[in-house]
Every structure is written in C-alpha cells, then in structure tokens.
A and B are shown apart, each in its own frame.
Chain A
C-alpha cells in the first residue's frame, strides 16, 4: 500500500525550498496569532498594520527599533560563530552582563573625581570595544576550555554560568560599583562616554553601526578566512578536522572566545548607547532572544541584521499596540516563538514528498479487497 507522503533519501535543500518552508511557517504563525487579535475585537489586518507601523513607519519608532536591534544582532552573531563551530554555547546572558559591567567600569574611570580622569573619545571607544569583547570573551573561553580539554558538556555548563555572571553583576551593582541612593545600580556614565546618536530626533545610536561592522567581520571570518573554514570544518566533523591536521581543541576555544566577545559587545552597546548605567537585570533575556534571532536567520551572518531589526521592531510595535489599543504586548512573544517552532516543524516537510503512486495504486488495491 503506497503512502501519501514518501520519505526522501536526502532533504530538499534548494534555496527555494528553504525560503518557501520558512515563509510558510511565518505566515502560519501570523495566521494563528490573528485569532488572538480577534479576541480584542481588532481586525487582524489592522493589528498587523499597527504592529509594523510604529517601528517602520515613524522615525521615532524606527530609532527605537535600531536601539533594540543592535544588541540582539550582536548576540545572534556570537551564536552563529559558536554554533557553526560545533560549540552549542548558551551563555550569552552571562556574556552580556560581563561586557556591560566591564565597559561601565571603564567609562566610570572618566567620571568627575575618579582617578585617571576623562579619556579622549578617540581613545575611549576603541578601548571600550576591546575591553567588553575581551572580558566576555575570556568568560566564554573558560567554558570552551572545559569542553575542549575535559569533555564537559557546554550546553549545561553555559546555562549554569549565566547565573554565576548575573550574581557577579548583582554583587557589583549592590557593592563596589553602587551609586549612592536607594536602587542597586551604578552612577550615570559621563556624557562623553555615551555612544553618539546617529539619527536626529531619535534615540538611535552608533551601536547599530557596530553591529553591522560585526556582521561583516563575522561573514568574512566564516567565509573568507582559513581560520573560519577550519572552524566550520570543526563544527561539521571534529574527527575529519583532526585528521586534516586542524587543532580541534584550540579552534573550539577560539570559537568560544569570539562568541563570548560578541555577546560582551551586546552588553557594551546597551550600556553605552541606551541605558547609560548598569543595573541588575540589564540583559532582560536578550541573551536568549538573540539566539532565536540567529536561528531565524538560519545561522547566516548577513541575514542577522534584517532579522534583528524585524525582532526589535516587533517589540517596539508591540509596546505601542499595548499603549494605544490595550492589546497585551505578550502576544508578540507568542507570534515570535511560534514562528521559530513552526520553522523547525516545517523543516521536516523538506524530508517528504507527495507520492503520486498513492493515487494510482489505491483504487486497484481497494478493488482487490472487495473480491
């Protein structure tokens, strides 16, 4: 008896097939979410128009979208570098707060009354990038070393390491770095250390430029450089990589360092560009949402920027929707996560095809049984 769906020997992996299943997943997610909008008496079309008008139809909203997109894009790039190297790192919440704390410390050195005094900005910003990158990079590389040298499981260890980093930050902002006052947070960073605003009339800051530069560098690393090729080979097949003479443990550690560094830059961008101080809970789950962004971008560095902008924009639109129409912004969590789950589910479709023999063989088989 022929089956209606027949399993393919190899999945259909043409760009057309992948983009078709991805957009089908997105449309299905939007369709399902539409029913939630109906519950609020809003027509789904109007609701989606409202969701996307604020972030992409108004200058102010677009500025906020850029602000939200920058750290997400950087975390996503870190995810791509580590996951494609076969290092399933999940510790970006930790890297985010380590990077944030390190750059805030550097920036506060230039606060009035502090010892070395203000730094010229041509010196400060490169130093801040280096500092945030290296601090969080070392943090993640520790997990890389444990995995590469001792065989520890990086998924579980990096999940646990998030909490250690978050407690370190809590300690810093309620102890050594605490500003006088009631809340556990640092002082406002000196105005000279803020990332410059790039769009007049909005809050958009230079962080998005850092994210774009990082995306280009990540793409070059993975596509144009021998080291990147070795990282990807390590990710595909560590045994083959070792056979080809690649130092697999060293590559894993490097991948962890780069990934953590990018996560640290996300924290730096958020502190110097948007919050201008560090407080407990500053990462706000961005270390995980960034991973989701990377997955939706199919671990492709070039696709990260538009995907992060879409995600950042949706969260801005959702806030506006909640303010104006009293539709809870949590609906966008449903929309966003449903889209990813459906992308995963629809991926399975590429392994199957309709079997024409099903229609051809069915009637005779049924006729056989009748006799």
Chain B
C-alpha cells in the first residue's frame, strides 16, 4: 500500500462526496428554516432521471443539469405545500413522497425508453485537466483532477455559508426555524421562509441527482440513489447545520466509503461493513444528546407553525 493507494483512496473520497454534499447543502437550508425534508431521497431520483433523459435526447449537459434543478424545484413545491400550507407531518409526507417519486421515475423511464436495451452512453462531465496543477504529486490527482461539478459544489458550500450566516435572508430563514413566533412578530413571513428553504433543498437535491448521472454513473437505474438522500440527512446533522462543516462531513463519509472499496481490493480482514457503518454510528452519537449536540439543532425543526 504505497502512495498510489493513498492517491486512489483520497480522490475517490472526494468524488463520492460530491453529490451527497450538494444535496446536504440544500437540506441545510430546509432544516434551518424548520422543515425536515425527508423527500430529498425521491427528489434526487427524479433529478437523476430528468438529467439522464435530457442528456440522452439533447446531448447538452448544462441543459440536463438545469432540467434536473427545475424538476427538483417543481417536485418540492408539492412537498412545501404539504409541509407548510397543510401542516402535514413532515416525516410522513416526505417518506410517502419518496415512494411516489420511485413510482413516477420508473414508470416514466419505461415510457421513454421502453424495454429497449440501455443506451450506450450519454453526454457527461469529464474530469478536468488543469495543466501543471494536475501534474503535482499527490495533490494533483486528488484535488485538481475532479469534474467541474465538484468545484462548483465546493464553491456553493461557501456561498451557502455566506447566505445563511451573513445576509438578512439567512437570518430570517434561521429565525423561522429557531423561534417562528418571534420571527413572525418581527415581520418575517415564516411560511414564505419555509417555502424558500424547502424549494432550495429541492433545487439542490435535483441537481445532486443530475450530478450523480452526469458526472459519475452515466446511466439511469431505479436503484441509483439507494439511500444517498438519507446519507445527506446524516451529513447535515454531522455537520451541525453548517454548510462548511457539512463539506467536511461529506468528505468523511466519502472517505469511509472509498476506504472500504479499496480495502476489499487489497483483501484485508477488516469487515468493510464496519467502515461503512462508522459514519452512521458517529452521526447517531453526535445527535444522541450524550455529548450535548441538541443545542445546535434548529429548535423548531419538524414543528409546523400555526399563526396565532
């Protein structure tokens, strides 16, 4: 296990971290506004399908990404209506929406492509080659040979952090999730903020689906998401509802995932499942209250707001 192993492992860690981080950034907005959006799992799936079909028919990858984003927003308009306007149980609406999304995605996929064989390939994002930077030892292949979408996601983490903690909008959003009654009396429309949070998470989750298809997998399957939306939920918590910490959390999750893949190739005796389970165990401990993590959670998370 030399430097080749380290390079392969680290660059795979970053590659795997990308889509879930994008989804987690959006989810941070929803949760900071007081909405636990469990429906991002289904939204990622819809985004993946939309971008796959768009790329397959038009060959334009940026258009495909945009379509995924729009589908994510449209789907989450329904969710926001249920969460905020109908004040339905957020967990229930989100979970059931995921089943609906699975049904819609597999039905639409069969309409579009029938039972025909999988298309050979679609237009995709490819890893960038940044000249001299990519040729640097170790950090070249790890940091400077990712796809453009990866750098975009990292940039968005900084943007999200700025918006959440340095703008009036971010303050209003966070106060709706912390103490909606006070926010309301300060003239902030809690429901508008929660709609905004949910729609932002929808846009990000849709794009995450596009990321998955356009930069990593290149095909669509019903099982393509397989829990990545729930992983994003874990990353949000692990990152303590902070976009920059979420980026670190996503890379930790990605590193565990990549390490078990590499260890399987090298044939060690550590069960790969232990490494896979590790991030979840750490997340559970982080939110268990054993270490006082409760204070960081938005106080009104999952609580519908009824205006007096």
The answer to whether A and B belong to the same complex is yes
Closest Cβ neighbor of B105 among chain A residues: A330
A-B contact pairs, 7 of them (CB 8 A): A39-B111, A90-B91, A146-B284, A156-B233, A160-B230, A330-B107, A347-B86
Identify which of A127-135, A198-206, A332-340 touches chain B. Answer: A332-340
**9 tightest A-B CB contacts, nearest first:** A333-B103, A150-B289, A334-B103, A337-B100, A330-B106, A337-B99, A167-B273, A167-B277, A171-B273
Contact (Cβ within 8 A) B96 A341: yes
Known: A163-B230, A288-B99. Is A152-B289 also a contact (CB below 8 A)? yes
Contacting residue for B277 out of A90, A151, A164, A288, CB 8 A: A164
19 extra A-B contacts, CB within 8 A, seeds A36-B107, A146-B288, A291-B92: A150-B288, A150-B290, A151-B294, A153-B294, A153-B297, A157-B284, A159-B233, A174-B273, A291-B95, A292-B96, A330-B110, A330-B222, A332-B103, A334-B100, A337-B96, A337-B97, A340-B96, A341-B96, A347-B88
Tell me whether B290 and A146 are in contact (CB under 8 A): yes
Q: Is B181 an interface residue (CB 8 A)?
A: no
Whether A338 pairs with B92 at a CB distance below 8 angstroms is: no
Within A153-174, which residues are at the interface with B (CB < 8 Å)? 153, 155-157, 159-164, 167-168, 170-171, 174
Cα(A155)–Cα(B82), bound, Å = 19
Say whether, besides A163-B230, A292-B96, A330-B107, A155 and B302 are in contact (CB < 8 Å): yes
Residues of B within 8 A of A341 (CB): 82, 93, 96-97, 100
Q: Is A213 an interface residue (CB 8 A)?
A: no
Chain B residues touching A, majority SS: helix
What does the 1/0 interface line of B72-98 toward A look like (CB < 8 Å)?
000000000010001011011101111
Q: CB < 8 Å: which of B99, B103, B106, B222 contacts A292?
A: B99
Question: Contact between A334 and B96 (Cβ–Cβ < 8 Å)?
Answer: no
Asked if A331 is at the interface (CB within 8 A of a chain B CB), the reply is yes
Cross-chain contact A334 with B287 (CB below 8 angstroms): no
Task: Give the A-binding residues of B (Cβ under 8 A).
Answer: 36, 38, 82, 86, 88-89, 91-93, 95-100, 102-104, 106-107, 110-111, 222, 227, 230, 233-234, 237, 271, 273-274, 276-277, 280-281, 283-284, 287-290, 294, 297, 301-302
Contact call A170/B92, Cβ cutoff below 8 A: no
Proximity string of chain A (322-356) to chain B, C-beta cutoff 8 Å, 1 when within and 0 when not: 00000010111111111011001101100000000
Contact of A333 (CB < 8 Å), options: B100, B276, B287, B288: B100
Task: Using C-beta atoms within 8 Å of the partner chain, give the interface range for chain A.
Answer: 35 or more
Choose from B92, B234, B277 the contact partner of A344 (Cβ within 8 Å).
Answer: B92
A36 to B104, CA, bound (A): 10
A289 — which chain B residues lie within 8 A by C-beta?
A: 99
| Chain B CB within 8 A of A282 CB | no
Q: A157-B288, A160-B284, A292-B99 are in contact. Are A344 and B88 (CB under 8 A)?
A: yes
Name A150's closest neighbour in chain B (CB-CB).
B289
In the bound complex, CA of A143 to CA of B152 (Å): 38
Tell me which residues across on chain B come within 8 A of A157, comparing CB atoms.
Answer: 284, 287-288
Residues of A within 8 A of B95 (CB): 90, 288, 291-292
Find the B residue at minimum CB distance from A285: B99
In angstroms, Cα B302 to Cα A328, docked, is 35
A119 at interface, CB cutoff 8 A: no
Note all chain B residues with C-beta closer than 8 A to A168: 273, 277
| In contact, A153 and B287 (Cβ under 8 angstroms) | yes
* Chain A residues close to B by CB (< 8 Å): 36, 39, 88, 90, 146, 150-153, 155-157, 159-164, 167-168, 170-171, 174-175, 288-289, 291-292, 295, 328, 330-338, 340-341, 344-345, 347-348
B93 CB contacts on chain A under 8 angstroms: 341, 344
Report the separation of the CA atoms of residues A90 and B98 in the bound assembly, to the nearest whole angstrom: 14
Known contacts A146-B290, A159-B233, A171-B273; is-contact A164 B284 (Cβ 8 Å)? yes
Q: Which has the most chain B C-beta neighbours within 10 Å: A151, A174, A332?
A: A151
A residues less than 8 Å from B96 (CB atoms) = 292, 295, 337, 340-341, 344
Question: Quick check: B97 and A163 within 8 Å, CB to CB?
Answer: no
> Which residues of A lie under 8 Å from residue B110 when comparing CB positions?
328, 330
Residues of A within 8 A of B222 (CB): 330
Docked pose: A155 CA to B288 CA in angstroms = 11
Rounded to whole angstroms, the CA-CA distance of A335 and B103 in the bound complex is 9
Q: Cβ of B97 and Cβ of A155 under 8 Å apart?
A: no
CB pair B102 A333 closer than 8 Å: yes
By a CB distance below 8 angstroms, the chain A residues around B230 are 159-160, 162-163
Determine the chain A residues whose CB is within 8 A of the CB of B277 once the complex forms: 163-164, 167-168
Cβ distance B205 to chain A, nearest Cβ, rounded Å: 16
Taken together as a complex, chains A and B put the C-alpha atoms of A163 and B283 apart, in Å, by 11
A242 to chain B, nearest CB (A): 19
**Cβ–Cβ contact A151 & B234, under 8 A:** no
Contact residues in A for B99 (Cβ distance below 8 Å): 288-289, 292, 333, 336-337
Picked from B82, B88, B271, B280, the residue with its CB within 8 Å of the CB of A163 is B280
> Which residues on the A side are within 8 Å of B297 (C-beta)?
153
Bound together, the chains give a CA A152 to CA B288 distance in angstroms of 4
- Smallest distance from the beta carbon of B293 to chain A beta carbons, Å? 8
Please, which residues of chain A bring their CB within 8 A of the CB of B97?
A: 337, 341
A295 CA to B93 CA, complexed, in Å: 11
Please determine whether A167 and B100 come into contact, CB atoms closer than 8 angstroms: no
How far does the alpha carbon of A258 sit from the alpha carbon of B240 in the complex, in Å? 32
User: Closest CB-CB distance, B148 to chain A, in whole Å?
Assistant: 31
Report whether A344 and B86 are in contact in the complex, using a CB–CB cutoff of 8 Å.
yes
A171 near B271: Cβ-Cβ < 8 Å: yes
Cβ–Cβ < 8 Å partners of B290 in chain A: 146, 150, 152
